[in-house]
Amino acid sequence: MNPDVASSIRAKIAAGRLPLPANLPGKVWVGTGNLRPCDACDQPITDAEMEYETDLPTGQTIRFHKPCFEAWQTEGARRMA
């Protein structure tokens, strides 16, 4: 895992900008990116990459690159252990 992404995810969870994965509905949609920014690393998700998307109970949608999504899940598991 990229240490910068992991650090960014931890900071965003601490600031309330990203929820913990355990607090979300279980549905995740995966499709081709369309240049919207990743909520973990803030870089665009290109059409050559897969975008992982889930809706929050607030109605907000969060999006990730695959490695960022995996890092977010890993951080959630680490915090719940």
Q: Residue 44, SS3?
A: strand
Q: pLDDT value at position 58?
A: 82
Is 52 a member of any domain?
yes
Q: Residue 55, SS3?
A: strand
Q: pLDDT value at position 27?
A: 87
Is 28 a member of any domain?
no
Is 25 a member of any domain?
no
Q: Residue 43, SS3?
A: coil
Host domain of residue 44: 1-11+35-81
Q: pLDDT value at position 64?
A: 97
Is 80 a member of any domain?
yes
Is 16 a member of any domain?
no
Is 79 a member of any domain?
yes
Is 60 a member of any domain?
yes
Nearest by Cα to 42 from 1, 71, 9 = 9
Q: How do the pLDDT tens digits run along the chain, 81 residues long?
A: 566 899 999 999 999 999 887 766 678 999 999 999 999 999 999 999 999 999 888 888 999 999 999 999 888 888 777
Q: pLDDT value at position 2?
A: 66
Domain count within the chain: 1
Angle between helices 66-80 and 3-14 (to 10 degrees): 60
